[in-house]
Chains A and B, each alone.
Chain A
């Protein structure tokens, strides 16, 4: 064996070792956990010229371009909306979830898909631009995040379809949504998994339409598998057909019941991690629609509850945007490009909140690469919401808006969410449950 050959082998060994080390996991340190779950321990971020109480509008938005997502910058610039700025606040996640992260994160690694994951945040370490799979890790962090905890209900859940050219409300949908994690549970019993679960379902989403009449009793059940390479199963019960229809997976990228959302858009992103190629862009501070529900000043005049709960109101052009306050927070910006060339979008740019790891802000680009839609979900602090949510530690999806900038159309969404395991039994997420409808 000559020196040249030995050198070549040595290079290969070194390269493999570097790659292995990059993949290899290590025990998560307290410092890493602090940075992941308590990013504001040392104070909240600031930005030149930004103050609580001010309003960002088209006259001053250029000054704050760096802390606003591209779609929302465009919306403000074009007069769709304004951003009232408020003081930031901490939203610590439940200690059980953080503890599970500490306990299990060191065993998690990426192969073809995720490996060794048990519970908690899979990759609590801060993303690094030098890590080619940093974007993918953030996607996993969201997938196994705590959006709605181990289970929750949203009811009533109002979606209004609005023609922004005329301001007319075309349709008003009244939904009931339920979420349940079958696996990797950290808060509600049984933990970590609901058994038996022979299909290895990770998460179920069940929804029912209460209004309008033509869609009344329509129900949708989405069963997401633990195996990320396996496509979710979806079943639709159509009230006018009185039977359950299996949905082809393509229908998750179709406009959902005529709204500006696809099923894939639910909760910010509802597809498989493997459906997209994820790229970590940067970590930065950005304005996010996070607020305390009970401290908002204006609520929706049309939707009322007998217990006095008030729904977030809407403002701006055609009343497309939630009437809430925003705050400057630490975010990870991730770009996702669909693997499927036939996907209706070319990419989505997600602003992932660094503390709670939910994609509250997205810019969605059409197949030509032009900005198509803005997506936002307002997060409410659970201690300033319904009594049942107090102390849950689960930041609540509380208001939302998807604006189609190309067709001047929007879907305005307002929630009543409850972190209540009793309202989310596993039987609700069985196909047969759909058939018991009217």
Chain B
């Protein structure tokens, strides 16, 4: 690293840490001097706990053979603040600031030098020097389109050569003034870290921080448009995410022994009884950019401004415990943070799909293996040529983020209790918004690139991104089976309103009811050769998901319909031992996505040197069978602008209108078949962490 840059990095790190330390030190010293603002009884002192944590991760080679190196150098300073206020109220706050130095320490991978020039395939030209051509030099462009008889008004081609908004001379003169500069720099190919897609469509995606390269950067819902400094210190944003929690709570005792419990403020509300994956625990969105699915949910739930009220009725003649709680999430809607393409954690590689598609819409781009070389009427489904799309043709047009309004708030209710036989249960209802985006093909007013005029169509691979409203009904229970020394956890939920990509629909999506469930078994087991005094915990979970009215149809070239599996299981197993009076904790977590045939194993050892200092070392490895089972209809054969690009099958039937015929590949939907484990293949890591409490 250049000396001056290293100095800048160290200075910034030191500044951030010192700022946080100053704040927390002030709080601590205020505790000592009792000089913080008086919020209540002075007899109850402020209780402030501050810790620092460093997490350093390294990755090996990705699927391109590139050795990734440092993938996380995250420094966290967190203060937890408590105070009893007057009249029975209590305050709790958690303030967290992090600085991840990876964007400067490994800038070739995640910073300003990330990515590079890419070449895109024309399968029709295999064996020739132009089999792969650089981004911006697609075989099909404005000039070659005219060569096959399209008018000069066609909008194929984009500006990959001329900075300053001037057009590539080869592109449509009509669009000269409006074509943004979209060079072959700072790019990677979609999914290239974990898969290959010969013969399939492929797109390039910018991977540098948005202050270095703004292509494809937009606010997808609190993520996707971050500058390097915002990626480095993600909590310091306009949502004030450095305030992790900030709430007051009180128990109101009623005359009959019942209670009303109120908790108001920025908080996490946890429903359900599962680990790692969520069925009912969906009130707070989750920040997967921090460490994919592998951090404790406590650290990656995105706290929201919420009012919780519980009516605690206690025991009755039938139930040992009863209560009803209402949860009103009155914060502005925020979805899950899916990361930003070019950063270490992009769950399902969704951030790369979104950024690639947004850049395609804004700037145009080369798409590999898109246009078929077969003349109309010739049976067959390829081979194909790389195609330069102009801006505003394919990709993501708009992101529809709900504004704050009363009707956009989210409301949940839970009835929870314990039966006389000791079975804990809950019944849950929630009206919320999907925390995952849905892509709607807008189809109306689209530019037909073949002729450059506005038309209405269907099955167009151009989208608006929305977060649909969802309702959930569910329940959970736990109980023990003494004879087997087992604790059993159950959860189930039925949702209405979730949306799934569906190439069988002209709009590209469908709303489907979804049933999810999990059964979890916990068994502490004395294994004398591990430890005679401390049990080893075996905790297994089996998650199930069923999509109702699932659509999947055979078409001439393959299957079309919903990329998500109709039925899928994910199993997890945690084995955790305890040694040296629980100061040395070796554990292994395993997860298997049964349909994806993907498997992850994460061994780790934590050592608690003292109450104030602990260390851990771990690893994370993923395995898969093969990627072909993840291939899915890519919709290059949708024929959205008939008669252009119409395919003819082996029986000489020709497409007469829009609608995919099943040409498939890994890009762009294979990630959803691969799941969070498969799509992180080749992101194997070795992880070190150190935590110190001041």
The chain A residues found within 8 Å of chain B, CB to CB, are 161, 170-172, 196-199, 201, 211-214, 216, 223, 231, 233, 235, 240-251, 253-255, 257-260, 342, 344, 366-367, 404, 409, 425-427, 430-433, 436, 438
Contact = CB atoms under 8 A, between A and B. Distances in A.
B320 A213 contact: no
Given A249-B485, A432-B416, A409 B535 contact: no
A250 B485 contact: yes
B422 interface: yes
Contacts of A170: 581, 583, 610
B261 A436 contact: yes
A246 B487 contact: yes
A213 B418 CA distance: 30
B230 interface: no
Given A171-B583, A243-B272, A255-B535, 9 more contacts: A170-B610, A245-B487, A246-B487, A248-B487, A248-B523, A259-B581, A344-B532, A409-B581, A425-B257
A344 B533 contact: yes
Interface string B568-584: 00000000001001110
B459 to A, nearest CB: 44
Interface string B257-286: 101010100001010110100000100000
B315 A255 contact: no
> Majority SS of interface residues in chain A?
mixed
A246 B92 contact: no
Given A251-B524, A426-B314, A427-B257, A438 B489 contact: no
A164 to B, nearest CB: 12
Enumerate the 10 nearest inter-chain pairs by beta-carbon distance, A residue then B residue, closest first: A258-B582, A198-B420, A254-B535, A212-B611, A250-B485, A246-B478, A248-B487, A258-B581, A255-B534, A199-B320
Given A231-B482, A248-B480, A436-B251, A213 B535 contact: no
A229 to B, nearest CB: 10
B464 interface: no
A81 B535 CA distance: 30
Contact of B268 (A198, A242, A246, A254): A242
B318 interface: yes
Interface string B24-56: 000000000000000000000000010100000
Given A251-B535, A254-B524, A432 B611 contact: no
Contact of A199 (B257, B421, B480, B489): B421
A249 B488 CA distance: 12
Contacts of B323: 432
A132 B522 CA distance: 38
Given A255-B582, A344-B526, A431-B418, A436 B263 contact: yes
B604 to A, nearest CB: 15
A257 B611 CA distance: 13
Contacts of A243: 270, 272-273, 281
B583 A249 contact: no
A196 B485 contact: no
A242 to B, nearest CB: 4
A433 B249 CA distance: 13
Contacts of B418: 199, 430-431
Nearest to A368: B532
Contacts of A404: 533
B213 interface: no
B493 to A, nearest CB: 16
Nearest to A411: B581
Give the most central of B253, B275, B312, B532: most A CB within 10 Å.
Answer: B532
Interface string B558-598: 00000000000000000000100111000000000000000
B692 to A, nearest CB: 10
Contact of A213 (B312, B578, B693): B693
B608 interface: yes
Given A432-B312, A436-B251, A438-B92, A242 B298 contact: yes
A366 to B, nearest CB: 7
Contacts of B92: 438
B317 interface: yes
A255 B614 contact: no
B91 to A, nearest CB: 10
Given A246-B489, A250-B524, A241 B297 contact: yes
Interface of B: 49, 51, 80, 82, 92, 245, 249, 251, 253, 257, 259, 261, 263, 268, 270, 272-273, 275, 281, 296-298, 310, 312, 314-321, 323, 416, 418-422, 424, 478-480, 482, 485-489, 522-526, 528, 532-535, 578, 581-583, 608, 610-612, 614, 693
A250 B525 CA distance: 7
A330 to B, nearest CB: 33
Contacts of B523: 248, 250
Contacts of A427: 251, 257, 259, 312, 314
B315 A342 contact: no
Contacts of A344: 526, 532-533
14 contacts: A170-B583, A198-B317, A241-B270, A245-B273, A245-B487, A246-B487, A248-B486, A253-B535, A258-B583, A427-B257, A427-B259, A431-B424, A436-B251, A436-B261
A241 B298 contact: yes
Contact of A198 (B320, B424, B533): B320
A213 B297 contact: no
Contacts of A367: 528, 532
Contacts of B578: 254-255, 258
B487 A254 contact: no
B581 A161 contact: yes
Contacts of A231: 480, 482
Contacts of A241: 270, 275, 296-298
A57 to B, nearest CB: 28
Nearest to A242: B270
Contacts of A161: 581
A184 to B, nearest CB: 17
B420 A199 contact: yes
Contacts of B257: 425-427
B310 A436 contact: yes
B318 A198 contact: yes
B317 A172 contact: no
Contacts of A211: 611
B485 A248 contact: yes
A91 B693 CA distance: 45
Contact of B316 (A198, A244, A249): A198
Nearest to A239: B298
A371 to B, nearest CB: 14
Contacts of B316: 196, 198
Contacts of A425: 253, 257
Given A251-B535, A431-B418, A436-B310, A213 B581 contact: no
A431 B321 contact: yes
Nearest to B534: A255
B320 A201 contact: yes
Contacts of A254: 524, 526, 533-535, 578
A231 B245 CA distance: 38
A201 B272 CA distance: 25
* Residue among A245, A250, A436 with most chain B CB within 10 A: A250
Contacts of A197: 315, 320
A72 B529 CA distance: 28
Contact of B319 (A172, A198, A245): A198
Contacts of B318: 198
Contacts of A199: 315, 320, 418-422
A189 to B, nearest CB: 13
Contacts of A259: 581
Nearest to B301: A242
A430 B321 CA distance: 6
A241 B272 CA distance: 11
Contact of A214 (B489, B526, B608): B608
A212 B582 CA distance: 13
A263 B608 CA distance: 22
A369 B480 CA distance: 31
B533 A196 contact: no
